[in-house]
Amino acid sequence: MSRSAEQKVKLLVLYDLLEKKTDEDHPMTTNDIIEELAKLGITATRQTLYDDIEVLNSFGYDIICEHGRNNHYYVADRTFERPEVQILLHAVGAAKFLTEKKASALSEKIAELLNPLQAEELRLGVPDCVGKSNNERTLYSIDIITSALLKKKQISFLYYDVDVNGKKLYRKDKERYVVNPLGLVYSGEYFYLVCFHDKYGDPANYRIDKMEDVREEKQSITQKREYENFDLNTYRKESFSMFSGEKVEVTLFFPIELIYVAKERFGDIIPVSVDNGYIIRTTVRVSKTFFAWLSTFEGQVKIIEPKTIRQQFKNFISGILEKIE
């Protein structure tokens, strides 16, 4: 190997060493680096090491030197900062649509964005998620659905529930669902397919980790006027826990101390000030999950209009009380 080639290899090995074993909290001294390079069969001195790091920095690498009796070096500039990687690891850990095996594999890949010391420290602080999915093909299903959305093609799949023993209970006697995909939504720790059927007018939601044998069909998406300007973000805001229901404009009362809840849940609203609180108007998809959400405020949040929906809510609460008794 020529002297020039040896120097290039030396620079690559040096940066790989610093990138994997150093950060701001774990710098390496000059002697440490020389010893590690020697283990790899590479000879270095204090002067050659200083010169090599200068060369690496001149090519855009960000290697910091803390000067002292024995200089300390570490790589500062990384694609992802430690807090960013921590957020990604927590997101993967909390995602119930992933199996434990897939979550572990993804976490390992994400951790590689940091050096091994930082990665190990972060792993210790990420709790395991309870109630992970058993469907190993969820990510592949998402990929197939994404492809179908881009190509504007229908998709088909089997859909199932799981009994107390973990046995799959297929809906529609294991007949395939054929739908027109509208988009993917992440809600409540799960991914959902939002779609519509040729036979029905309202959109439908399916949890992707409960879908099996997802296929992209040759048939193009059916064109329906009501879905020409379908907005996924608006639909998500209207829905509660991704349950479909009748789309209704409601008037709600929020006490002063809970108006922040309305803003967080419904986004861009214009509250109207009244005695002891605010009135807001928004569109929701009326379902049991909407009523369940309202009930968590113990009567402080009230349905003003429509009166029919207010009565439905009262019936919902009465039904629960009857079952308790």
Confidence check: pLDDT of 281 > 90: yes
86 and 67 inside one domain: no
Residue with the larger pLDDT of the pair 156 and 234:
156
pLDDT at 124: 54
Q: What mean pLDDT do residues 154-182 have?
A: 91
Compute the distance between CA of residue 255 and CA of residue 278 in angstroms, rounded to an integer. Answer: 6
**Preceding omega of 255 cis (within 30 degrees of 0):** no
194 and 252 in a single domain? The answer is no
Report the distance separating Cα 186 and Cα 189, nearest Å. 7
Do 142 and 214 have their domain in common?
yes
Q: Are residues 51 and 94 in the same domain?
A: no
Residue 279 lies in a domain: yes
Distance, in Å, from the CA atom of 325 to the CA atom of 294, rounded to the nearest integer, reads 21
pLDDT at 1 over 90: no
Domain hosting 260: range is 246-324
CA distances, 207 to each of 156, 212, 276 (Å): 14, 11, 40
Q: Evaluate whether residue 294 is within a structural domain.
A: yes
- Residue of 223, 185, 181 whose CA lies nearest to 203: 181
Domain match, 268 and 215 both? no
Is position 205 within any domain? yes
61 in the same domain as 10: yes
Q: Which residues contact 89 (CB under 8 A, 6 or more apart)?
A: 107, 110, 111, 122, 123, 126
SS (H, E, C) the chain: CCHHHHHHHHHHHHHHHHHHHCCCCCCEEHHHHHHHHHHCCCCCCHHHHHHHHHHHHHCCCCEEEECCCCCEEEECCCCCCHHHHHHHHHHHHHCCCCCHHHHHHHHHHHHCCCCHHHHHHHHHCCCCCCCCCCCCCHHHHHHHHHHHHHHCEEEEEEEEEECCCCCEEEHHHHCCEEEEEEEEEEECCEEEEEEECCCCCCCEEEEHHHEEEEEEEEEECCCCHHHCCCCHHHHHHHCECCECCEEEEEEEEEEHHHHHHHHHHHCCCCCEEECCEEEEEEEEEECHHHHHHHHCCCCCCEEEECHHHHHHHHHHHHHHHHHHC
Claim to verify: residue 143 and residue 226 sit in the same structural domain: yes
What token pair was written down for 142? Answer: 């998402």
pLDDT higher at 183 or 6: 183
Position 238 in a domain: no
- CATH code, 310: 3.30.70.240
| Average pLDDT of the chain, as a whole number | 84
Q: What is the tally of structural domains in the chain?
A: 4
Q: Are residues 62 and 89 in the same domain?
A: no
Give the number of C-alpha atoms closer than 13 A to the C-alpha of residue 296, restricted to the C-beta side.
7
Q: Is the predicted pLDDT of residue 125 greater than 80, yes or no? A: no
Q: Which of 114-118, 217-221, 253-257, 292-296 has the lowest mean pLDDT?
A: 114-118
CATH of the domain at 34: 1.10.10.10
How large is the average pLDDT for residues 165-172?
87
pLDDT level of residue 39 (50, 70, 90 thresholds): confident
pLDDT winner (highest mean) among 12-16, 99-103, 128-132, 169-173: 169-173
* Residue 50 clears pLDDT 80, i.e. is over it: yes
| pTM of the predicted model as reported, rounded to 2 decimal places | 0.61
Whether 104 shows a pLDDT value over 60: the answer reads yes
Residue that terminates a domain, selected from 124, 154, 185: 124
- pLDDT at position 160 is 92
Note whether residue 194 is domain-resident. yes
Output the domain CATH number for residue 188: 2.30.30
More confident residue, 228 or 150: 150
Q: Give per-residue pLDDT as tens, 203-243.
A: 899 999 999 999 999 999 998 888 888 888 888 887 877 77
Do the domain assignments include residue 117? yes
Residue 237 placed within a domain = no
pLDDT at 194: 92
What is the model's pLDDT at position 118? 67
**17 and 48 share a domain?**
yes
110 and 47 housed in the same domain: no
Q: What is the pLDDT of residue 154?
A: 95
With respect to residue 131, please indicate whether it lies within any of the assigned structural domains.
Answer: no
For 56-96, the pLDDT digits (tens) are 888 777 888 888 778 888 887 666 667 777 777 777 777 77
Residues 255 and 299 occupy one common structural domain: yes
Structure-block tokens of residue 87: 């957020």
Report the C-alpha gap between 198 and 222 in whole angstroms. Answer: 7
Residues 31 and 7 in one domain: yes
Backbone angles phi, psi at 241, to 5 degrees: 55, 30
Q: Which of 165, 199, 230 is the last residue of a domain?
A: 230
Give residue 80's identity as a one-letter amino acid code.
F
Q: Which of 241, 251, 253, 322 is nearest to 288 (CA)?
A: 241
